[in-house]
Chains A and B, each alone.
Chain A
Amino acid sequence: RKEVEQDPGPFNVPEGATVAFNCTYSNSASQSFFWYRQDCRKEPKLLMSVYSSGNEDGRFTAQLNRASQYISLLIRDSKLSDSATYLCVVVSGGSYIPTFGRGTSLIVHP
């Protein structure tokens, strides 16, 4: 099983839709979790950290389920500008190396 797994998609949704991505991780000692966004030919940029109690930033909600070892990202009211690749990042307690998932591609169409 890969350390961090994501459905590559693409997820093709209309503007205004709600879309959710999941990311599973294999190391139960993982300590920190993040969602990044990467636009084509650009560097990844932090979207949000993921906290145990769940957290929200505008239209974006992130959740952590330690028992099932996954994190999720929910995007409400999708905008065209949300089209990008969303990368899940997990930092394990032992190595402290941020490990990236392969990313989930989102395409929001008019």
Chain B
Amino acid sequence: DTAVSQTPKYLVTQMGNDKSIKCEQNLGHDTMYWYKQDSKKFLKIMFSYNNKELIINETVPNRFSPKSPDKAHLNLHINSLELGDSAVYFCASSPKYNSPLHFGNGTRLTVT
């Protein structure tokens, strides 16, 4: 009965590869997010999405793209992976904007 689930938990891959991280929430929330937590532990917003609007952090490279097949899913696709993409990626959801976030348990991405 996990509320927000991400897969995989660990992802090790080589530079230049393309990978995806999946996120699903069973809370019936309208809004989902992707955050990146770097080695300095700073959580930075990457994308915010509800079923009508995608808000992109303009500092995110366009190699990163969110894909939402339905309201309960927000997957993250990353093309041409770089060493600097190594981080922990957290998916989160909330009932609406202004509400607390519920986080998945994170995906630790290592690019070699």
Contact surface of A with B, Cβ cutoff 8 Å: 31-32, 34, 38, 42-46, 49, 85, 87, 89, 91, 95-100, 102-103
Can you report 11 A-B residue pairs in the complex whose CB atoms are below 8 A from each other? A43-B105, A43-B106, A44-B103, A46-B102, A49-B100, A89-B101, A91-B98, A97-B45, A97-B55, A98-B33, A98-B94
- Residue-wise, chain B 27-51 has the 8 Å CB interface mask toward A (1 for contact) of 0000001010000111111001000
Residue of B nearest to A44 (CB): B103
| Count, A-B residue pairs, CB within 8 A | 48
Central interface residue in B35, B100, B104, B105, by most chain A CB within 10 Å:
B100
Interchain CA distance A37-B84 in the complex, whole Å: 26
Known: A31-B98, A96-B98, A102-B40. 15 other contacts (CB 8 A): A32-B99, A43-B103, A44-B43, A44-B101, A46-B102, A87-B43, A91-B97, A91-B98, A95-B55, A97-B48, A97-B55, A97-B57, A98-B33, A98-B45, A100-B35
